[in-house]
Amino acid sequence: MNKIKDNKTANSRRGFLKNIAASVVAASAVVPASLSAEDDPALIKEPEWGKKLGLPVDKHLYGMPSPYEHNVKRRVHKLLSSGDMYASVAMCPIHELNGIITPNGLFFNRAHGGVAIVDPNEYRLIIHGLVENPLVLTLDQLKRYPSESRIHFIECPANGSTGWRAPQFNTLQFMKGMMSSAEWTGVKLSTLLKDVGIKPEAKWVLAEGSDNSHMGRTLPVEKLLDDAMLVWAQNGEALRPEQGYPVRLLVPGWEGNLNVKWLKRLEFGDKPWHAKEETSKYTMLTPSGKAIRYFWPMEVNSVITSPCPDKPWTDLKKGDIVEIEGLAWSGQGTIKGVDISFDGGKNWTEASLKGLVLPKSWTRFSFMYKWDGKPILLSSRAYDDAGFVQPTIDQEVKVMGVEAIYHRNAIVTWEVKANGEVNNVHIRS
């Protein structure tokens, strides 16, 4: 049931691609002139931090960011919660991130029954149902399996859902902060399940969490055996409680809600579960009246993170050279490229991908730009190696309607005004 492929690749991307040669600049002379001591007092006086001893090395035995970075934090909004902060989401400040890894303390946090604090000594993982050898594992036993580390994003399918009808938030953090990315370490289920022996009739698995919400999700066994993992580490340290300490299911590229945290059991069966936990199952109503029941992968997507409403160009001057940066990702493959438009999607030019370009992973893109101080409509459009291209809003709404809530991946446009302010706008034909 792939709702996207036909509709969203309908227009040939190359047909639209035109180089805006004049605005492509070499990366030299980005900063025009150097400072001199006369106009910069900070150059003459010795800074305070050099006149006295710093903090003793045993002051913070678990390190914290500089106090000057106190604004860089997750944020909550009442519009994005179901009434209280136990069933809610804390959004990631994606405009503040560098590279493709989210620091653990900033990883977005979605919980349906609060953040469980699990005692690792009492933790048990049960694997049962249609298997030859049902298993109960302690955390230590689980960690004895050969481990692998992989970089993947997790995105809640509700990310961007506030924008279906019209722009609602004028901050990137609240628009798209229901995602983050980490290097995860754990065991591949294809490895672990060799010991368990799945019976041939087993086609589905129920993954259930041990937290207060006991969130359960049904998945096809194929995906489990393809690239799913049980992970216990996140960016080199144990999972944070917010990410499911001590063990979560990682389902690369698929909907965030399937990545069950505080994982208690995996039960194998011959048909999908319709357990009570699944009453909140994510379904989507399309304009035809047909609901899409199980659509798992997160589609190709991208957003410009600099500039953005939270990070405007208000301190830029006409003629300044600036790096436009953003994130692109696809749960169905590897990002092949990202185009940028300065006129709301009429003309496109290719950005460069920088750093690691990995499957089902955030990919950073960049474009050096000389801003002439005139208003622009800045958009990005990503495409992946599975053949998908990000749709326009019109293309997406035609397929999904405006009641869809989930899986929004239409092109995002920033209106950059002459004073450098940046606004979230919708381009419709």
Ligand X SMILES: Nc1nc2c(c(=O)[nH]1)N[C@H]1C(S)=C(S)[C@@H](COP(=O)(O)O)O[C@H]1N2
Name the residues that contact ligand X, by CB under 6 A: 107-112, 154, 156, 180, 209, 211, 213, 215, 242-243, 256-257, 259-262
- CB-facing half-sphere around the CA of 429: CA atoms within 13 A: 9
For residue 293, give the DSSP letter: -
CB of 84 to ligand X, least distance (A): 13
Number of residues that bind Mo ion (CB under 5 A): 4
CB of 102 to ligand X, least distance (A): 9
d(CA 295, CA 219): 11
Positions 85 through 114 that interact with Mo ion (CB under 5 A): 110
Q: If 0-12 CB within 10 Å is exposed, 13-18 middle and 19+ buried, where does residue 317 land? A: exposed
SS3 39: helix
Distances 23 to 97, 307, 319, 368 between C-alpha atoms, Å? 26, 16, 10, 8
Nearer to Mo ion, 156 or 324 (CB): 156
Token pair, residue 422, equals 């940046």
Nearer to Mo ion, 112 or 188 (CB): 112
d(CA 25, CA 32): 14
Which of ligand X, Mo ion, none binds 242 (CB below 5-8 Å, type-dependent)? ligand X
Prior bond to 246 cis, omega within 30? Answer: yes
Helices of type H across 36-121? 48-51
Nearer to ligand X, 259 or 413 (CB): 259
Which of ligand X, Mo ion, none binds 262 (CB below 5-8 Å, type-dependent)? ligand X
Nearer to ligand X, 110 or 150 (CB): 110
Which of Mo ion, ligand X, none binds 215 (CB below 5-8 Å, type-dependent)? ligand X
Nearer to ligand X, 242 or 384 (CB): 242
Nearer to ligand X, 247 or 304 (CB): 247
SS3 152: strand
In the bound complex, which residue of the shown chain has the CB atom lying closest to ligand X? 209
Nearer to ligand X, 256 or 326 (CB): 256
- CB-facing half-sphere around the CA of 64: CA atoms within 13 A: 11
CB of 69 to ligand X, least distance (A): 21
d(CA 218, CA 275): 9
Nearer to Mo ion, 4 or 215 (CB): 215
SS3 54: coil
Report if residue 209 touches Mo ion, rule: CB under 5 A. no
Binding pattern for the stretch 232-261 against Mo ion, x by CB under 5 A and - elsewhere = ------------------------xx----
CB of 110 to Mo ion, least distance (A): 5
Binding pattern for the stretch 126-165 against Mo ion, x by CB under 5 A and - elsewhere = ------------------------------x---------
Closest among 73, 88, 91 to 176, alpha carbons compared: 91
d(CA 379, CA 106): 26
d(CA 109, CA 98): 19
In the chain, % helix, strand, coil (3-state, to 5) comes to 20, 30, 50
Closest among 205, 207, 200, 209 to 221, alpha carbons compared: 205
CB of 353 to Mo ion, least distance (A): 27
CB of 262 to ligand X, least distance (A): 5
In the bound complex, which residue of the shown chain has the CB atom lying closest to Mo ion? 156
Closest among 298, 91, 331, 124 to 208, alpha carbons compared: 124
Which of Mo ion, ligand X, none binds 209 (CB below 5-8 Å, type-dependent)? ligand X
CB of 211 to ligand X, least distance (A): 5
Which of ligand X, Mo ion, none binds 147 (CB below 5-8 Å, type-dependent)? none
Which of ligand X, Mo ion, none binds 186 (CB below 5-8 Å, type-dependent)? none
CB of 260 to Mo ion, least distance (A): 11
CB of 63 to ligand X, least distance (A): 22
CB of 164 to ligand X, least distance (A): 18
Nearer to ligand X, 211 or 396 (CB): 211
Nearer to ligand X, 171 or 180 (CB): 180
Cα of first residue to Cα of last residue in the chain, in angstroms, is: 28
Q: How many other β-carbons are positioned within 10 Å of the β-carbon of residue 229? A: 26
CB of 414 to ligand X, least distance (A): 25
Nearer to ligand X, 111 or 187 (CB): 111
Distances 180 to 16, 32, 92, 177, 408 between C-alpha atoms, Å? 31, 35, 7, 8, 16
Instruction: Give contact residues for Mo ion (rule: CB under 5 A).
Output: 110, 156, 256-257
